[in-house]
Amino acid sequence: MRTIKKTLLLIILVMITVCIRAQDHNSKLRVLVLTDIENEPDDAQSMVRFLAYSNNWDVEGLIATTSVHQKKKVAAWRIKEIVSAYGQVRTNLLLHEKGYPDTNYLKSIIKESYPDFGMAAIGNGKDSEGSEWLIKTVDKEDNRPVWVLVWGGPNCLAQALWKVHMTRSPDDINKFVSKLRVYTISDQDDTGPWIRKTFPTLFYICSPGTHDRGAYHHATWTGISGDKFHGRFSGADFSIVDNPWLDKNIRKDHGPLGAQHPFTKYLMEGDSPSFLYLVDNGLGSPEYPNYGSWGGRYELYQPKTEKWFYEPETRPIWTNAEDEVMGIDSTFQTSNKATIWRWRKAYQNDFAARINWSIQPYKNANHPPVAKLAHPNNLHVKIGDTVLLNASPSTDPDGNQLSYEWIEYPEVGTYAARNTLKIEHEKTAKASFIAPNVTRPETIHIILAVSDNGTPALTRYQRVIVTVFP
């Protein structure tokens, strides 16, 4: 009898462990990358950073594609090189955080798309292992949506959608489309407008530039490394995205993965906003592009007058939003790029820390603090109430000293009187403000930023949404 009881207890413990692991697995976002890697160095740069963060997600595909900059070839071989370098440091990365995917698994999901440009790669006979893999991935018995991150042209996605459109019932097409979330780095071929026109319900984030002022002049994603691109400057610190900083903190003497980060020729990591948007750091909420994150902030926008890169836009998409941010020159800068570069110090330090993880033991590296509130993330108050904000439960795994900042994000809330909210003790764990006068329920977004004093200093966030009632 005692043996039976022990056996039953063992079975129960195993089942509990499996359930916990399943919950952990299912809490991750599903991610599939389309990359025109080798068109210029920035895709390889982004792939290095992506793999350093790959434990954040269930990575389900790494597909080599074409783009306007690389029309007739794909370079899956380069993805394999970088994944192999990741394989040399994976064991060390696992000392710092769990969940880094197996190297052989990652190699098994590297695929190639049809090696032609844009709409020329769409139609009968244009299926590829990449487009077929994308369909298979979305069709899995998994209720979680698939985030398709498009670093080049989206024609591989377009071919998958074309085939589904031609072979399935309207209900099944809608079911397939509803499981997709797309974040594209501009329109880098002419299939983007076709996708949006043909599948108007598709969740689609895109920041294309206008045709009359240069393809990327208005592109939000250029905020990743600033407006020194093409000779323009912003209020962001360019020094921490320039080659000397990257050489010191990422490439040289930082192991096999960091060494795969190539020298910047044009723009550092133009594709990284697509997955920085999905990093679970407490700042963003992927289903709400208007909230803002390390990957930028976007609004549901119907273009009316602008002529876009390939053709006039006819469908509403999530695209350029603007933030007003104090720059390093102590002047306010207002642009869509500021929605990304406002977080630049934090995401660059975070990348440097993860590259350190690839070569250092746990005790010699820094790890992010845990930002935690002593109250719910959503608060309901009335005019004149004192709103108490409390981050005192926040901790640091390395025992580092913590600093705090409470930041109003006026562009996100509905409260119209921007930059008029006065937060008392905004640099301490406990802060407060007086709920302003409103004539109808209004929302105010407050961002808590908790930073440690490690090397490099790391930051995590919590978002408090305060609804003020009359």
DSSP conformation class of 424: B
The answer to whether 116 touches 72, Cβ cutoff 8 Å, is yes
Distance CA 79, CA 20 (A): 32
**How is residue 399 written in tokens?**
């025992």
364: left (phi over 0), alpha (psi -120 to 50) or beta: alpha
pLDDT recorded at residue 404: 98
Q: Are strands 203-206 and 180-184 parallel, antiparallel or unpaired?
A: parallel
Q: Do the Cβ atoms of 67 and 115 come closer than 8 Å? A: no
List, for residues 325-347, the tens digit of each pLDDT value. Answer: 988 888 888 889 999 999 999 99
Provide the residue type at 295 as one letter: G
Any idea which residue has 């005019």 for tokens?
383
Distance CA 181, CA 173 (A): 15
Token pair for residue 14? 């195993």
Neighbours of 139 (CB within 10 A): 14
DSSP codes joined into one string, 265-308? SS-TTTTTHHHHTT--SSS--TT-GGG--TT--EEEE--SS--B
* Alpha-carbon separation of residue 394 from 365, 374, 462 (angstroms): 20, 9, 10
- CB atoms inside a 10 Å sphere around CB 120: 16
- Which domains are delineated in the chain? 27-347 (3.90.245.10), 368-469 (2.60.40.10)
CB 319 within 8 A of CB 208: yes
Q: 433-451: per-residue pLDDT in tens?
A: 999 999 999 999 999 999 9
Distance CA 462, CA 466 (A): 13
pLDDT tens readout for residues 236-252: 899 999 999 999 999 99
For residue 16, the model assigns a pLDDT of 34
How far is CA 86 from each of CA 63, 108, 259, rounded to the nearest angstrom?
17, 14, 10
At 289 the pLDDT is 96
Rounded to two decimals, the pTM is 0.90
pLDDT of res. 345: 97
Q: What is the pLDDT of residue 219?
A: 83
Instruction: Report the pLDDT value the prediction gives residue 8, as an integer from 0 to 100.
Output: 38
What letter does residue 420 receive in the DSSP assignment?
-
Token match 């080659």: residue?
Answer: 243
* Helical segments of 28-75, H only: 41-52
Give CA–CA dist 149/221, Å, rounded: 13
Which pLDDT belongs to residue 230? 43
Residue-level pLDDT at 68 = 93
What's the confidence (pLDDT) of residue 347?
Answer: 98
Q: How far apart are CA 428 and CA 4, in angstroms?
A: 56
CA distances from 178 to 146, 181, 335 (A): 10, 8, 31
Dihedrals φ, ψ of 412, to 5°? -90, -40
**Polymer length in residues for the chain:** 470
* 192 in Cβ contact with 181 (< 8 Å): no
Provide the greatest CA pair distance for the chain.
82
pLDDT below 70 — which residues of the chain?
1-26, 208-218, 227-234, 302-315, 418-419
